[in-house]
Amino acid sequence: MINKKKIGILGGGQLARMSAFQAYKLGFDIAILEKEKNSPAGQLTHNEFVGWVNDDKLLKQFAEECDIITLENEFIDADRLKFIESLGKKVIPSSNTIRLIQDKFTQKKTLLKNNIPVPNFIEVKSINDYERISAKLGKRFIVKSRKMGYDGYGNADVKNVIEFKEAYKKLTNRHSNLYAEEFVKFSKELAVMVVRTKKEIKTYPVVETIQKNHICHTVIAPAQISKRKLKEAEEIGIECVKAVKGFGLFGIEMFIDAKGKILVNEMAPRPHNSGHYTIEGCVTSQFENHVRAVLNLPLGSTDLVKQYAVMINLLGKRNGEGTVQNYKESLGEPNLHLHIYGKAKSRIGRKMGHITIVGDNLNVILRKAKQMEKKIII
């Protein structure tokens, strides 16, 4: 008798939740490790471990329960993943891949070494570094934390020495090591999902992402750029994954600068916000292919099912319960797909869910999606 495979996911947020749905669809079990009980993914399984990766005893118990382990974010210390691997359990992506990605300065150096186009960057060594950095990057640049930065947290736009010192104090208060990156005047922000097993590597359609307060808000698939640029972005995405010896699912964010050059902003070794549209928009969602890749199974088609898809994040509009306040209005558009993440509390700007509409007329579905997003109260 063959035992049912159990996939362990480190982290229990919405990315783990949507991956878990797809694992169950394929007949696999899920175990979740998260700091708090009843997390969005923890709600879906009896195999919910409450605690975190710094607890050796708990991590051993979790690993023993699982056949293979993956993660929903890149912020788990690579050494803790190495510890799991030392127990004889496979982690996808591996600790070595995560080590190259989670420190963004190391990530940029790795990409540059592999001839992948990235913005100019330089290490920040002290609070008195403005002159040295501006000599290379210009007077205006972005200061970034090397680790733990996301959705604009851990970044600061600097235009002079006073702003640099303020940014240095603020960021080093929470993040020990920093680096600086040139300020890129971009015409569009792009993203592409890449999924890789030992035998296959596939890309999803290159999308345009539109930010709101540094959070990915709207995704348009495919991006409205030339076929040549779409192909170039796909190829760069594949090279990024190969550069970090990555297996599993990866989201790669890029800019098209004012001169039309594509530059890699950053990459994430997991399901990505820019790929949520794939649940209804593609033959096989990013979450299903995440599960397939983790288990080294044949990958599903990444083709769009219609000509276009639009996804808009539902960000909290109030502080309070994490439930939709007006379902009748929220479901008033028959072609709309509503996803709510199961977070207990909403707060202004928090990712609470998303909506997707697919169709063959981009202007129509984009307009409908924007109208519906305004109506949904959560």
Q: Is the dihedral of CA 146, 149, 151, 152 positive or negative?
A: negative
pLDDT at 154: 81
93-137: per-residue pLDDT in tens?
999 999 999 999 999 999 999 999 999 999 999 999 999 999 999
**pLDDT at residue 53 above 90?**
yes
First to last CA, the chain: 46
Mean pLDDT of 135-142: 96
> What is the model's pTM?
0.94
pLDDT at 1: 41
> In the chain, at which residue ranges do the beta strands (DSSP E only) sit?
6-10, 29-34, 48-50, 68-71, 90-91, 121-124, 141-145, 155-158, 178-182, 186-196, 201-203, 207-212, 215-221, 248-257, 262-268, 308-315, 320-321, 337-340, 345-346, 351-359
322-375: per-residue pLDDT in tens?
999 999 999 999 999 999 999 999 999 999 999 999 999 999 999 999 999 999
